[in-house]
Protein backbone atom coordinates (compact mmCIF):
# COMPACT_ATOMS: atom_id res chain seq x y z
CA UNK A 1 0.00 0.00 0.00
CA UNK A 2 1.51 3.31 -1.11
CA UNK A 3 -1.52 5.63 -1.10
CA UNK A 4 -4.68 6.06 0.93
CA UNK A 5 -7.79 8.22 0.62
CA UNK A 6 -9.80 9.13 3.72
CA UNK A 7 -12.78 11.23 4.72
CA UNK A 8 -12.55 13.22 7.96
CA UNK A 9 -16.11 13.91 9.12
CA UNK A 10 -17.43 16.97 10.91
CA UNK A 11 -19.07 16.68 14.32
CA UNK A 12 -21.98 18.28 16.12
CA UNK A 13 -22.29 18.70 19.87
CA UNK A 14 -25.91 17.75 20.56
CA UNK A 15 -25.20 18.38 24.25
CA UNK A 16 -22.33 20.34 25.78
CA UNK A 17 -22.19 20.79 29.55
CA UNK A 18 -19.35 22.51 31.41
CA UNK A 19 -19.00 20.52 34.64
CA UNK A 20 -15.78 21.90 36.13
CA UNK A 21 -12.32 23.28 35.54
CA UNK A 22 -8.88 21.79 36.19
CA UNK A 23 -6.13 23.64 38.10
CA UNK A 24 -4.38 24.26 34.77
CA UNK A 25 -7.46 26.11 33.47
CA UNK A 26 -8.81 23.44 31.11
CA UNK A 27 -12.57 23.12 31.35
CA UNK A 28 -14.10 19.73 32.09
CA UNK A 29 -16.95 18.84 29.77
CA UNK A 30 -19.66 16.31 29.16
CA UNK A 31 -20.77 16.24 25.55
CA UNK A 32 -22.98 14.09 23.37
CA UNK A 33 -21.27 14.18 19.97
CA UNK A 34 -22.28 12.87 16.58
CA UNK A 35 -20.27 12.65 13.35
CA UNK A 36 -21.96 13.79 10.14
CA UNK A 37 -21.21 13.32 6.46
CA UNK A 38 -19.87 16.81 5.82
CA UNK A 39 -16.19 15.86 5.46
CA UNK A 40 -12.68 16.98 4.60
CA UNK A 41 -10.74 14.81 2.15
CA UNK A 42 -7.22 13.53 2.83
CA UNK A 43 -4.83 11.83 0.43
CA UNK A 44 -1.83 10.14 2.08
CA UNK A 45 1.10 9.09 -0.10
CA UNK A 46 4.11 7.11 1.06
CA UNK A 47 7.41 8.92 0.38
CA UNK A 48 10.99 7.99 1.33
CA UNK A 49 11.29 10.47 4.20
CA UNK A 50 9.87 13.59 5.82
CA UNK A 51 6.37 15.02 6.25
CA UNK A 52 4.83 17.27 3.63
CA UNK A 53 1.37 18.83 3.93
CA UNK A 54 -0.29 20.43 0.92
CA UNK A 55 -3.38 22.52 1.69
CA UNK A 56 -4.96 25.91 1.08
CA UNK A 57 -2.66 28.82 2.05
CA UNK A 58 -5.37 30.42 4.20
CA UNK A 59 -5.09 27.50 6.64
CA UNK A 60 -1.75 28.89 7.80
CA UNK A 61 1.69 27.30 8.17
CA UNK A 62 1.72 23.56 7.52
CA UNK A 63 3.71 22.88 10.68
CA UNK A 64 0.88 24.29 12.82
CA UNK A 65 -1.83 22.19 11.17
CA UNK A 66 -3.22 19.35 13.30
CA UNK A 67 -2.85 16.84 10.46
CA UNK A 68 0.86 17.67 10.21
CA UNK A 69 1.25 17.44 14.00
CA UNK A 70 -0.52 14.07 13.97
CA UNK A 71 2.00 12.76 11.44
CA UNK A 72 4.83 14.09 13.61
CA UNK A 73 3.52 12.06 16.56
CA UNK A 74 3.93 8.84 14.59
CA UNK A 75 7.00 9.67 12.50
CA UNK A 76 9.47 8.26 15.03
CA UNK A 77 7.92 4.80 14.65
CA UNK A 78 8.79 4.38 10.95
CA UNK A 79 11.59 4.92 8.46
CA UNK A 80 9.12 6.20 5.85
CA UNK A 81 7.72 9.65 5.18
CA UNK A 82 4.34 10.91 3.97
CA UNK A 83 2.86 13.52 1.67
CA UNK A 84 -0.55 14.68 2.89
CA UNK A 85 -2.93 16.48 0.55
CA UNK A 86 -5.76 18.06 2.52
CA UNK A 87 -8.89 19.34 0.79
CA UNK A 88 -11.01 21.36 3.24
CA UNK A 89 -14.79 21.07 3.02
CA UNK A 90 -15.60 21.67 6.70
CA UNK A 91 -15.75 25.40 7.53
CA UNK A 92 -13.00 26.56 9.88
CA UNK A 93 -13.73 28.15 13.28
CA UNK A 94 -17.36 27.05 13.33
CA UNK A 95 -17.37 24.45 16.12
CA UNK A 96 -17.56 21.55 13.67
CA UNK A 97 -14.23 19.94 14.60
CA UNK A 98 -12.62 19.94 11.16
CA UNK A 99 -9.04 20.27 12.39
CA UNK A 100 -9.53 17.56 14.99
CA UNK A 101 -11.14 15.29 12.41
CA UNK A 102 -8.17 15.79 10.08
CA UNK A 103 -5.77 14.86 12.88
CA UNK A 104 -7.71 11.70 13.75
CA UNK A 105 -7.97 10.59 10.11
CA UNK A 106 -4.23 11.18 9.68
CA UNK A 107 -3.44 9.04 12.73
CA UNK A 108 -5.71 6.24 11.52
CA UNK A 109 -4.48 6.46 7.94
CA UNK A 110 -0.79 6.45 8.84
CA UNK A 111 -1.35 3.52 11.17
CA UNK A 112 -2.37 1.62 8.02
CA UNK A 113 0.03 3.19 5.53
CA UNK A 114 3.08 2.81 7.78
CA UNK A 115 1.87 -0.60 9.09
CA UNK A 116 2.33 0.46 12.71
CA UNK A 117 -0.32 -1.95 14.11
CA UNK A 118 -1.32 0.44 16.89
CA UNK A 119 -4.52 -0.50 18.71
CA UNK A 120 -7.55 1.84 18.80
CA UNK A 121 -6.78 2.58 22.47
CA UNK A 122 -3.18 3.50 21.60
CA UNK A 123 -4.35 5.78 18.80
CA UNK A 124 -6.84 7.50 21.09
CA UNK A 125 -4.10 8.02 23.68
CA UNK A 126 -1.99 9.77 21.06
CA UNK A 127 -5.03 11.70 19.83
CA UNK A 128 -5.58 13.19 23.30
CA UNK A 129 -2.18 14.90 22.99
CA UNK A 130 -3.43 16.83 19.96
CA UNK A 131 -6.72 18.25 21.20
CA UNK A 132 -9.89 17.64 23.17
CA UNK A 133 -12.06 16.52 20.25
CA UNK A 134 -9.53 14.29 18.46
CA UNK A 135 -10.13 11.01 20.37
CA UNK A 136 -13.85 11.12 19.51
CA UNK A 137 -13.15 10.92 15.78
CA UNK A 138 -11.29 7.60 16.20
CA UNK A 139 -14.28 5.74 17.64
CA UNK A 140 -17.92 5.03 16.87
CA UNK A 141 -20.56 7.74 16.70
CA UNK A 142 -22.57 8.97 18.52
CA UNK A 143 -20.52 9.05 21.70
CA UNK A 144 -20.60 10.55 25.18
CA UNK A 145 -17.34 12.45 25.68
CA UNK A 146 -16.08 13.53 29.10
CA UNK A 147 -13.17 15.21 30.85
CA UNK A 148 -11.13 17.24 28.38
CA UNK A 149 -12.18 14.85 25.62
CA UNK A 150 -10.06 11.88 26.65
CA UNK A 151 -12.94 9.68 27.88
CA UNK A 152 -15.14 8.48 25.02
CA UNK A 153 -18.01 6.00 25.34
CA UNK A 154 -20.44 4.95 22.58
CA UNK A 155 -23.92 6.34 23.27
CA UNK A 156 -27.20 4.58 22.53
CA UNK A 157 -29.38 7.51 21.51
CA UNK A 158 -31.94 8.03 18.79
CA UNK A 159 -30.76 10.47 16.16
CA UNK A 160 -32.73 12.45 13.58
CA UNK A 161 -32.20 11.36 9.96
CA UNK A 162 -30.42 14.63 9.12
CA UNK A 163 -29.41 18.08 10.28
CA UNK A 164 -29.38 21.41 8.49
CA UNK A 165 -26.21 23.33 9.37
CA UNK A 166 -25.93 27.11 9.13
CA UNK A 167 -22.37 28.46 9.13
CA UNK A 168 -22.23 32.28 9.29
CA UNK A 169 -19.42 34.29 7.64
CA UNK A 170 -17.63 34.64 10.97
CA UNK A 171 -16.08 32.23 13.43
CA UNK A 172 -15.99 31.98 17.21
CA UNK A 173 -12.43 31.59 18.54
CA UNK A 174 -12.65 28.81 21.13
CA UNK A 175 -10.24 30.39 23.68
CA UNK A 176 -12.21 33.64 23.58
CA UNK A 177 -15.49 31.80 24.23
CA UNK A 178 -14.09 30.00 27.28
CA UNK A 179 -12.62 33.23 28.63
CA UNK A 180 -16.04 34.84 28.25
CA UNK A 181 -17.62 31.86 30.02
CA UNK A 182 -15.32 32.38 32.99
CA UNK A 183 -15.91 36.14 33.07
CA UNK A 184 -19.68 35.61 33.10
CA UNK A 185 -19.37 33.44 36.22
CA UNK A 186 -21.89 30.94 34.91
CA UNK A 187 -20.79 28.12 37.21
CA UNK A 188 -20.85 24.45 36.37
CA UNK A 189 -23.54 21.95 35.47
CA UNK A 190 -24.14 18.81 37.49
CA UNK A 191 -22.53 15.78 35.85
CA UNK A 192 -24.98 13.13 34.70
CA UNK A 193 -25.73 10.43 32.12
CA UNK A 194 -26.25 11.31 28.45
CA UNK A 195 -29.74 12.74 27.90
CA UNK A 196 -32.20 11.24 25.46
CA UNK A 197 -34.11 13.24 22.89
CA UNK A 198 -33.73 16.65 21.28
CA UNK A 199 -35.71 18.37 24.04
CA UNK A 200 -32.73 17.75 26.36
CA UNK A 201 -30.13 19.20 23.99
CA UNK A 202 -28.33 22.12 25.62
CA UNK A 203 -25.05 23.96 25.10
CA UNK A 204 -23.66 25.75 28.16
CA UNK A 205 -21.36 27.85 25.95
CA UNK A 206 -24.20 29.73 24.24
CA UNK A 207 -24.18 32.74 26.64
CA UNK A 208 -20.41 33.07 26.20
CA UNK A 209 -20.52 32.62 22.43
CA UNK A 210 -22.97 35.52 22.06
CA UNK A 211 -20.67 37.73 24.12
CA UNK A 212 -17.90 36.99 21.62
CA UNK A 213 -20.23 37.17 18.61
CA UNK A 214 -23.47 39.09 19.40
CA UNK A 215 -24.54 38.53 15.78
CA UNK A 216 -25.41 34.96 16.76
CA UNK A 217 -28.55 36.15 18.56
CA UNK A 218 -30.01 37.59 15.37
CA UNK A 219 -28.89 34.62 13.29
CA UNK A 220 -30.50 32.13 15.65
CA UNK A 221 -33.76 34.10 15.62
CA UNK A 222 -33.73 34.13 11.80
CA UNK A 223 -33.10 30.39 11.59
CA UNK A 224 -35.85 29.59 14.07
CA UNK A 225 -38.32 31.92 12.32
CA UNK A 226 -37.62 30.38 8.91
CA UNK A 227 -37.67 26.76 10.08
CA UNK A 228 -40.12 26.80 12.99
CA UNK A 229 -37.59 24.72 14.93
CA UNK A 230 -35.17 25.22 17.76
CA UNK A 231 -31.65 26.04 16.52
CA UNK A 232 -28.66 24.68 18.47
CA UNK A 233 -25.05 25.82 18.72
CA UNK A 234 -22.29 23.30 17.95
CA UNK A 235 -19.25 23.41 20.23
CA UNK A 236 -18.09 26.96 20.89
CA UNK A 237 -19.75 28.10 17.64
CA UNK A 238 -20.35 29.71 15.31
CA UNK A 239 -22.33 26.99 13.45
CA UNK A 240 -26.00 26.42 14.24
CA UNK A 241 -27.97 23.29 13.42
CA UNK A 242 -31.56 22.08 13.37
CA UNK A 243 -32.69 18.43 13.24
CA UNK A 244 -34.85 17.35 10.33
CA UNK A 245 -35.84 14.54 8.00
CA UNK A 246 -33.60 13.81 5.04
CA UNK A 247 -35.96 15.00 2.30
CA UNK A 248 -37.31 18.02 4.15
CA UNK A 249 -33.73 19.03 4.88
CA UNK A 250 -33.29 20.14 1.28
CA UNK A 251 -36.42 22.31 1.45
CA UNK A 252 -35.20 23.86 4.71
CA UNK A 253 -31.77 24.44 3.17
CA UNK A 254 -33.27 26.30 0.22
CA UNK A 255 -35.38 28.44 2.55
CA UNK A 256 -32.37 29.33 4.72
CA UNK A 257 -30.11 30.06 1.77
CA UNK A 258 -32.55 32.75 0.71
CA UNK A 259 -33.02 34.17 4.22
CA UNK A 260 -29.70 34.09 6.07
CA UNK A 261 -26.11 35.04 5.34
CA UNK A 262 -23.57 32.23 5.28
CA UNK A 263 -23.24 28.62 4.15
CA UNK A 264 -26.04 26.09 4.58
CA UNK A 265 -25.52 22.32 4.48
CA UNK A 266 -27.64 19.21 4.87
CA UNK A 267 -25.67 16.61 6.81
CA UNK A 268 -26.60 13.08 7.89
CA UNK A 269 -25.23 11.12 10.85
CA UNK A 270 -22.45 8.63 10.08
CA UNK A 271 -21.24 5.77 12.30
CA UNK A 272 -17.63 6.92 12.76
CA UNK A 273 -15.45 10.02 12.73
CA UNK A 274 -13.43 8.97 9.68
CA UNK A 275 -13.74 6.64 6.72
CA UNK A 276 -11.12 4.95 4.54
CA UNK A 277 -12.30 5.43 0.95
CA UNK A 278 -9.53 3.50 -0.79
Q: For 123-165, how does the pLDDT look when each residue is reduced to its tens digit (9 = 90+)?
A: 999 999 999 999 999 999 999 999 989 999 999 999 999 999 9
Q: What is the mean pLDDT of the chain?
A: 95
Q: Is the pLDDT score of 183 beyond 90? A: yes
Q: Is the pLDDT score of 191 beyond 90? A: no
Please give the pLDDT value at position 278: 87
CATH code at 162-267 = 3.30.70.890
Kindly indicate the confidence band of residue 190, based on its pLDDT and cuts at 50, 70 and 90.
confident
pLDDT tens by residue, 58-108: 899 999 999 999 999 999 999 999 999 999 999 999 999 999 999 999 999
Catalytic residues: 11, 133
Kindly indicate the confidence band of residue 32, based on its pLDDT and cuts at 50, 70 and 90.
very high
The domain made up of 3-156+271-276 is a member of CATH 3.30.230.10: yes
pLDDT tens by residue, 215-253: 999 999 999 999 999 999 999 999 999 999 999 999 999
Q: Is the pLDDT score of 197 beyond 80? A: no
Kindly indicate the confidence band of residue 192, based on its pLDDT and cuts at 50, 70 and 90.
confident
Please give the pLDDT value at position 194: 77
- Write down the pTM of the prediction: 0.96
- Which DSSP string do the residues of the chain spell out, in sequence order? --EEEEEEEEEEEEEEEEEEE-TTSPEEEEEEEEEEEEEEEEEEEEESSSEEEE--GGG--GGGSHHHHHHHHHHTT-S-EEEEEEE--SPTTSSS-HHHHHHHHHHHHHHHHTT----HHHHHHHHTTT-TTGGGGGSBSSEEEEETTTEEEE------SEEEEEE-SS---HHHHHHHHHHHT---PPP-PPP-SGGG--BTTHHHHHHH-THHHHHHHHHHHHHSS--EE-TTSS-EEEEE-HHHHHHHHHHHHHHSSSEEEEE-B-SBSEEE--
- For the chain, the domains span 3-156+271-276, 162-267
Please give the pLDDT value at position 117: 97
Amino acid sequence: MRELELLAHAKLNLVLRVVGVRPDGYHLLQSLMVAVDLADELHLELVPEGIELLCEPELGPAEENLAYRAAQLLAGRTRHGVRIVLSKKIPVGAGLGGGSADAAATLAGLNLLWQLNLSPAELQGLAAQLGADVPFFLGPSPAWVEGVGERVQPAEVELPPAFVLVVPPFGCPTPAVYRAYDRLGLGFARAGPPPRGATAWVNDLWPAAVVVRPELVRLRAQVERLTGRRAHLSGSGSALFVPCGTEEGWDIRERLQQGVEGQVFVARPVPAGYKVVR
